[in-house]
Amino acid sequence: MAAEPDAAFAAWWAERRSAARLSVTPVPFRELPHWSFTRDGDLVHDSGRFFRVSGMRVQGPWGAGSGHRDQPVIVQPEIGVLGLLLKRIDGEPHVLLQAKAEPGNIDGIQLSPTVQATRSNYTRVHRGGATRHLEHFAGPGRGRVLVDSLQSEQGAWFWRKHNRNMVVEPVGEVAEHPDFRWIALRTVRRLLRVDHLVNMDTRSVLGCLPVELEADAAAGTVPDDGPPTEAARDGSTAHRLRAITSWLIDAKQHCPWQSGLVPLAAVEGWSRTETEIADEAERSFRIIAVQVEAGTREVRQWSQPLLAPRRPGLAVFLCRLTAGAPRVLVRARAEPGLGDLVELGPTVQWSTDDGPASPEEAGPYDGTALTDDAARVRFDAELSEEGGRFHRAATRYRIVEADGAVPDQVPDDHRWLTVHQLQALVARGHHVNVQARSLLACLASLR
Amino acid sequence: MAAEPDAAFAAWWAERRSAARLSVTPVPFRELPHWSFTRDGDLVHDSGRFFRVSGMRVQGPWGAGSGHRDQPVIVQPEIGVLGLLLKRIDGEPHVLLQAKAEPGNIDGIQLSPTVQATRSNYTRVHRGGATRHLEHFAGPGRGRVLVDSLQSEQGAWFWRKHNRNMVVEPVGEVAEHPDFRWIALRTVRRLLRVDHLVNMDTRSVLGCLPVELEADAAAGTVPDDGPPTEAARDGSTAHRLRAITSWLIDAKQHCPWQSGLVPLAAVEGWSRTETEIADEAERSFRIIAVQVEAGTREVRQWSQPLLAPRRPGLAVFLCRLTAGAPRVLVRARAEPGLGDLVELGPTVQWSTDDGPASPEEAGPYDGTALTDDAARVRFDAELSEEGGRFHRAATRYRIVEADGAVPDQVPDDHRWLTVHQLQALVARGHHVNVQARSLLACLASLR
């Protein structure tokens, strides 16, 4: 099991943590240099770059009241790169991870992908950008691309955010640096079980990595859309995928929501104080401002807004791992910030772990997902969401064996999919939400 | 060649035309019942349904001046269905087409798909909706789904419009109706060469229909994502597709545009009179209002805005049809209203047929695309765009044999793709723009 001695990793990690300390202090909005509120109330950076906090309005069939729900939302229209380098060392697939501090992180540093680059980093790569290792993902030095797709991020908090998720086998030398470390994939799988250690971006990319691909990577026999083993077993794989995508398009078409951006000042039910933008019911997230100071060596200091949830969320896959091809129960889930509104999500996904935050979040398997039966709980950890935009945002991720608790026939917004089918949909991009991709990464840790 | 006697079609067509006459009269905006301008200048329907005319702002690297381009745009966020019924009659694949009049049509009626349904038609199907034949595309009576994908429409005129393109083999009886006619696919291919006869929606759906699928439909051997013949010939089909999608993601990521909606009143360089909204340079389209009266039997009357281009556009595929697998030269094309900004488009695509309307529209193959050499021009017809939203909008569609005029090595925003590769990308949805899908439909007429 131990592909790498725990002690070596722990020593590196402790050293990195002391080297990368961030001091993060909440400040009033007026103490955010370079950030200001527009006449419409949006919170924007002077340069017009990075991101802005605006408003989102969702029209829906909610009958009573205004007929719409409003909230602040993070708008960041560019496509960034989340890139992972993968190579075989002594026959064993390893990935190059980075110890990276983000201001919203719960535990200081987390294991991040090789590269988290913005569009402007990426397009400047030919001039030798500042983002380390980016040359393996773009331009003439790009390695062998194993995974490359556009994937959404939290549709409850972001307006149509998507990032390019890549796994690349490098062709040239990969420079060493103390913040980066080649770690066996087997070890990474194990580390996923540690609370708040493997960051969201790493999980998102790992969730795009088919298990077969891992095994075959660097052996020159990389399979494609449909994993070959299953394709060989089942000549109708593609037929089934078509039926699944038709079902997902049905869900998109039936979704009665219409969402759009509105000025933050027009958002109803939320108000702004000197230090936060919050909903009057105090049930949703807050927008706050922080000042960040990076200690050691070169002193670096900046300020930025963060989206701060009040509680952790919950994301659970019910699954059947014991008989035949492993299957998971997905749910077609609407989130107002997603481009098509609906993507495949976990069986159960709550904004807060103390219960469904709205009637749509409730589902028939909520109780099963929260079972205490240790024999059925195959994975249970509290992991962090993106610390560059969210303040201490966590989700409790669980994988629970369904046993006989869930029949084959499920309500029409649910479907049993094989892990292979789900991975084929991930490969197409914009089909599987970020929580479900995280769970796919965690699921691989059970093998 | 003549799968159906021309005379029979012509007689039906003449009869339908006289039965479906529309009288369309331009009127001032104030004579549009149920439509009005909001305080922000948007042109909206009282019900909040159908569509609205708003403004679109595109930030780009245009340097001098304001740094952005503004224009009106049609906003219609719902997903409609464009559905085609396909069945084999006496061994020959036929599709059920509809003679349908739209207010913006150049020639009164055009050949439309079996179904053009809005979301609300579609979601009401279980109550027996008013849209004829819809029961074959949704609900328990749905037939065997051969094609099902979400596809974009004009990104220069629509804000993130997409429709569900479906081809279905019916399982139950298909009721007869004088407006509908089963026409052999071979005949439809021939009719594509007639100016303004086969409407945009039909072409869009036909462009999603792989040639093999046609042949095999109703024979129970429908191929999937990758056409099996090519897949068998070339084990690396999926690898190549991955390289192509990586290239397309590169183009999306590098696109320096940011587009967003703004109130129509904020659109710069355009002004509104009593009868039109037009750009001050008089080079782009106009927004006008029309009153429509449908004669015969039940008198029906309504009014609506239309987007009226000043000239036809141009869309050309350069291709290599003579040696080996047929190939077309695609270009990664940015259009501000597309969800990801960039999709695959024709080799040449101009907003107006008298030259590129902007520097981005120009390209190295403009001259080749306009060749007069009859031996190389394989297809040349002026076809209509959607008559329900556009007023007499036409595009000159050409397919031109490249011969030696275009090398294998092309600029990085161009790629030679096999027709099979392009069809596999069409099947994924949101990869190939509506002009290129029209051209794919026309290309099949050359077989």
pLDDT of residue B234: 44
- The C-alpha atoms of residue B349 and residue B335 are separated, in whole angstroms, by 11
Q: Compare CB distances from A164 to B79, B122, B249 and report the shortest one's residue.
A: B249
Q: Is the pLDDT of residue A296 over 70?
A: no
Characterize B56-76 residue by residue with b for buried, 16 or more Cβ atoms within 10 angstroms of its Cβ, and e for exposed: bbbbbeeeeeeebbbbbbbbb
Q: What is the dihedral of CA B222, B223, B228, B229, to 10 degrees?
A: 50
Q: How many CB atoms lie within 10 A of CB B326?
A: 18
Chain A nearest-CA distance from B147, in A, is 9
pLDDT of residue A264: 97
Chain B nearest-CA distance from A428, in A, is 8
pLDDT band at A404 (very low <50, low <70, confident <90, very high): confident
Q: Which residue of B has its CA nearest to A236?
A: B224
Q: Which of A163, A236, A242, A431 would you mutate first to test chain B, the one with the most B CBs within 10 A?
A: A242
Chain B nearest-CA distance from A295, in A, is 33
The dihedral built from the CA positions of residue B265, B267, B271 and B272, taken in this order, carries a sign that is: negative
A311-357 pLDDT, tens digit each: 999 999 999 987 788 999 999 999 999 999 999 999 999 999 999 98
Residue A189 φ/ψ region, left for φ over 0, alpha for ψ in the -120 to 50 degree band, beta for the rest: alpha
CB distance A139 to A121 below 8 Å: no
Q: Is the pLDDT of residue A308 over 70?
A: yes
Each of the 447 residues of chain B gets a pLDDT tens digit; together they read 445 668 999 999 999 998 888 899 999 999 999 999 999 999 999 987 789 999 999 998 876 556 899 999 999 988 999 999 999 999 999 999 999 999 999 989 999 999 998 877 776 654 545 789 999 999 899 999 999 999 999 999 999 999 999 999 999 899 999 999 999 999 999 999 999 999 999 999 999 998 665 544 444 443 444 344 444 444 467 789 999 999 999 999 999 999 999 999 999 999 999 999 999 999 999 999 999 998 765 668 899 999 999 999 999 999 998 778 899 999 999 999 999 999 999 999 999 999 998 889 999 999 999 999 999 999 999 999 999 999 999 999 999 999 888 888 999 999 999 999 999 999 999 999 999 999 999 999 886
In order, the DSSP letters of B280-344 are TTS-S-EEEEEEEEE-SSS-EEEEEEEEE-SS-EEEEEEEE-SSSS-EEEEEEEE-TTSTTSEEE
Is A249 in CB contact (< 8 Å) with chain B? Answer: yes
Chain B residues closer than 8 Å to A249 by CB: 79, 148-150, 164
3-state helix, strand, coil in chain A (%, to 5): 25, 35, 40
Amino acid at B59: Q
Amino acid at B387: G
Is A79 in CB contact (< 8 Å) with chain B? Answer: yes
Please state whether beta strands B313-320 and B327-334 pair in parallel, antiparallel, or not at all (unpaired): antiparallel
Residue B282 φ/ψ region, left for φ over 0, alpha for ψ in the -120 to 50 degree band, beta for the rest: left
> Would you state the structure tokens that stand for residue A280, as one six-digit string?
């009057």
Chain A residues closer than 8 Å to B238 by CB: 224-225
Lowest-pLDDT range of A228-232, A260-264, A344-348:
A228-232
Using alpha carbons, list the distances in angstroms from residue B63 to B68, B117, B281, B359: 9, 43, 20, 13
Please state whether beta strands A109-112 and B394-401 pair in parallel, antiparallel, or not at all (unpaired): unpaired
Is B216 in CB contact (< 8 Å) with chain A? Answer: no
Is B260 in CB contact (< 8 Å) with chain A? Answer: yes
Chain B nearest-CA distance from A254, in A, is 6
Q: Is A295 exposed, middle or buried (0-12, 13-18, 19+ CB in 10 A)?
A: middle
- A residues 316-375 closer than 8 Å to B (CB): 339-340
List, in order, residues 6 or more apart from B417 with CB less than 8 Å away. Answer: B244, B327, B328, B330, B344, B425
Chain B nearest-CA distance from A429, in A, is 10
What's the mean pLDDT when you consider all of chain A?
A: 90
Chain B residues closer than 8 Å to A239 by CB: 222, 224
pLDDT band at A378 (very low <50, low <70, confident <90, very high): very high
Q: Which of B209, B225, B244, B426 would you mutate first to test chain A, the one with the most A CBs within 10 A?
A: B225
The tally of CA atoms less than 13 A away on the side-chain side of residue A120 is 4
Is A245 in CB contact (< 8 Å) with chain B? Answer: yes
List, in order, residues 6 or more apart from B254 with CB less than 8 Å away. Answer: A119, A122, A123
Chain B residues closer than 8 Å to A119 by CB: 253-254
CB distance B420 to B212 below 8 Å: no
pLDDT of residue A345: 98
> Would you state the structure tokens that stand for residue B180, as one six-digit string?
């509908």
CB contact under 8 A, A123 and B77: no
Q: What is the DSSP letter of A64?
A: S
- The C-alpha atoms of residue A341 and residue A160 are separated, in whole angstroms, by 9
Q: What is the dihedral of CA A423, A424, A429, A433, to 10 degrees?
A: -40
Using alpha carbons, list the distances in angstroms from residue A227 to A107, A215, A224, A238: 37, 12, 6, 11
The separation between the first and the last C-alpha atoms of chain B, rounded to the nearest angstrom, is: 11
CB contact under 8 A, A260 and B261: yes
- The C-alpha atoms of residue B247 and residue B413 are separated, in whole angstroms, by 9
> Would you state the structure tokens that stand for residue A421, as one six-digit string?
């089918």
Chain A residues closer than 8 Å to B249 by CB: 79, 148-150, 164
CB contact under 8 A, B250 and A225: no
pLDDT of residue B239: 83
- B residues 38-57 closer than 8 Å to A (CB): none
Chain A nearest-CA distance from B169, in A, is 14
Q: What is the DSSP letter of A364?
A: T
Is A23 in CB contact (< 8 Å) with chain B? Answer: no
Amino acid at B44: V
Q: Vertex B370, ends B369 and B373: CA angle to 5°?
A: 100
pLDDT of residue A298: 60
Is A67 in CB contact (< 8 Å) with chain B? Answer: no
> Would you state the structure tokens that stand for residue A3, as one six-digit string?
């592909």
- The C-alpha atoms of residue A262 and residue A276 are separated, in whole angstroms, by 19
Q: Give the SS3 label for residue A152.
A: strand
Using alpha carbons, list the distances in angstroms from residue B146 to A242, A408, B192: 9, 26, 22
Residue A277's H or E segment, with its range, is strand A276-279
CB contact under 8 A, A224 and B246: no
Domains and their CATH numbers in chain A: 1-447 (3.90.79.40)
Strands (DSSP E) along A62-133, which ranges? 68-75, 80-89, 92-101, 109-112, 115-117
Residue A54's H or E segment, with its range, is strand A52-59
B302-328 pLDDT, tens digit each: 999 999 999 999 999 999 987 788 999
Long-range contacts of A286-290 (CB under 8 A, 24+ apart): A286/A310, A287/A43, A287/A53, A287/A72, A288/A26, A288/A391, A289/A26, A289/A27, A289/A28, A289/A29, A289/A31, A289/A32, A289/A35, A290/A24, A290/A25, A290/A26, A290/A27, A290/A103, A290/A391
Amino acid at B330: V
pLDDT of residue B221: 41
The tally of CA atoms less than 13 A away on the side-chain side of residue A363 is 28
Lowest-pLDDT range of A186-200, A295-309, B375-389:
A295-309
State residue B338 phi and psi, 5-degree precision.
Answer: -75, 145
Q: Which residue of B has its CA nearest to A239?
A: B224
A82-124 pLDDT, tens digit each: 999 999 999 999 999 999 999 999 989 999 999 998 877 776 6
Chain A nearest-CA distance from B429, in A, is 10
CB distance B382 to B394 below 8 Å: yes
Q: Which residue of A has its CA nearest to B168?
A: A246
- The C-alpha atoms of residue B62 and residue B374 are separated, in whole angstroms, by 39
Q: Give the SS3 label for residue A327.
A: strand
Q: How many CB atoms lie within 10 A of CB A280?
A: 10
pTM (2 decimals)? 0.92
| pLDDT (mean) for A262-282 | 97
Chain A residues closer than 8 Å to B56 by CB: none
Query: Which residues sit opposite B109 in a β-bridge?
Result: B101
Q: Which of A249, A254, A341, A342 would you mutate first to test chain B, the one with the most B CBs within 10 A?
A: A249
| pLDDT (mean) for A26-47 | 95
Long-range contacts of A122-125 (CB under 8 A, 24+ apart): A122/A80, A122/A81, A122/B253, A122/B254, A123/B253, A123/B254, A123/B256
CB distance B349 to B361 below 8 Å: yes
Q: Is B164 exposed, middle or buried (0-12, 13-18, 19+ CB in 10 A)?
A: buried
The tally of CA atoms less than 13 A away on the side-chain side of residue A84 is 34
ipTM: 0.91
